[in-house]
């Protein structure tokens, strides 16, 4: 039943491959728990008490509440699927509640540090160095996700209009503008790539020296290596540059709804986490300018 459920997520719900993989992992973990502690591994037959005991074991193991809640969401979706298929008659998740998770504010890189990284850091003329610089510029200049950057095609980029077309979560397309300063970097990269790299038949914009497409861990390591110079940034990942993009836009006066659309969020709630940084900036302006402050 797990395989049928995963196909349902992939082809009917059209969830991202990463989400499908995560849910598959969650269900396998529950299956292993049931096998070790209760003598069977069939998730579909788990009752309320078994599910609850697994959740308790996760909490006792020190798993973060947000991660546990993700697993709870997976099980709710899974058993709802089984109910619709009439495989089970009662939902074991009916009385399971999510854990109270502490809100973590998204980390970001300061504006001055981003300028120093992109404008003052020396990148040599090699293909890899110029590609890495463009990757950093693309994350910070467009706010796209790691998966969206990896899946960029040559045809996704419109230099004339200075826009890129990305395929986001649930296969939703959106068009994101980029700055005038990014355009020559794209042109230089393409010229260098087409001259020095023997391209494979995949159509991807960002590639390795071998011509093969880039992969997630490679991009992650590139970003981390360059952000390692900022010890004040707790996490150094592509997603931090996405946070930085959103935070800096809001700090410069961008409307929240516009940032929501640029990021590809489905609701304002997902975008509002970035407003804390803007509020802090407003407080500083207020403290400096108000006569009674």
Which residue out of 193, 242, 243, 260 is catalytically annotated? 242
291: DSSP letter: T
Q: How many CB atoms lie within 10 A of CB 225?
A: 11
Contact assessment for residue 162 and residue 178, using Cβ atoms and an 8 Å cutoff: yes
Catalytic residue among 71, 133, 145, 226: 145
What is the Cα–Cα distance from 220 to 235, expressed in whole angstroms?
11
- Please indicate whether residue 242 is annotated as part of the active site: yes
Dist CA 185 CA 179 (whole Å): 11
Integer Cα distance of 266 and 115 in angstroms? 30
From residue 210, alpha-carbon distances to 151, 196, 198, 200, 203 in Å are 17, 10, 7, 8, 14
The beta strand positions in 129-278, using DSSP E, are: 157-158, 163-167, 173-177
Marked catalytic residue, from 13, 24, 174, 265: 265
Q: What is the dihedral of CA 33, 37, 42, 44, to 10 degrees?
A: -80
Task: Using the Cα atoms of residue 161, residue 173, residue 264 and residue 268 in order, give the sign of their dihedral.
Answer: positive
Q: Is 169 a catalytic residue?
A: yes
CA distance 152 to 26: 29
Q: Where are the beta strands (DSSP E) in 226-287?
A: none
Q: Residues 10, 28, 34, CA angle at the centre, nearest 5°?
A: 140
Q: How far apart are CA 89 and CA 83, in angstroms?
A: 6
Marked catalytic residue, from 110, 162, 224, 239 = 239
Q: Given the residues 23, 140, 189, 274, select the one marked as catalytic.
A: 274
Q: Which listed residue (13, 165, 169, 174) is catalytic?
A: 169
Q: Are 109 and 233 in contact (CB under 8 A)?
A: yes
Tokens of 179: 């700055």
DSSP single-letter state for residue 158: E
- Catalytic machinery residues: 145, 169, 239, 242, 265, 274
């Amino acid at each position: 039943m797990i395989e049928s459920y995963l196909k349902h997520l992939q082809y009917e719900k059209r969830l991202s491959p990463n989400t499908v993989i995560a849910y598959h992992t969650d269900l396998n973990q529950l299956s292993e728990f049931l096998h070790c502690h209760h003598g069977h591994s069939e998730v579909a037959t788990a009752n309320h008490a078994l599910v609850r005991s697994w959740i308790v074991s996760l909490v006792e193991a020190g798993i973060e509440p947000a991660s546990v809640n993700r697993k709870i969401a997976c099980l709710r979706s899974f058993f709802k699927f089984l109910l619709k298929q009439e495989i089970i008659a009662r939902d074991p998740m009916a009385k399971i509640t999510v854990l109270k998770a502490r809100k973590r504010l998204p980390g970001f890189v300061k504006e001055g540090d981003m300028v120093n990284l992109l404008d003052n850091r020396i990148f040599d003329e090699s293909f890899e160095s110029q590609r890495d610089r463009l990757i950093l510029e693309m994350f910070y200049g467009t706010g796209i996700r790691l998966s969206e950057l990896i899946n960029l095609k040559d045809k996704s980029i419109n230099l004339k209009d200075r826009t890129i077309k990305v395929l986001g979560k649930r296969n939703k397309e959106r068009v994101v503008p980029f700055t005038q300063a990014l355009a020559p970097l794209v042109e230089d990269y393409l010229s260098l790539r087409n001259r020095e790299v023997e391209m494979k038949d995949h159509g991807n914009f960002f590639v390795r020296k071998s011509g093969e497409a880039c992969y997630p861990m490679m991009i992650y390591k590139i970003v981390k290596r360059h952000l390692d110079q900022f010890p004040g940034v707790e996490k150094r990942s592509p997603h931090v540059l996405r946070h930085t993009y959103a935070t800096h836009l809001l700090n410069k006066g961008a409307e929240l709804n516009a940032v929501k659309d640029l990021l590809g969020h489905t609701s304002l709630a997902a975008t509002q986490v970035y407003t804390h940084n803007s509020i802090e900036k407003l407080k500083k302006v207020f403290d400096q300018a108000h006569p009674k402050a």
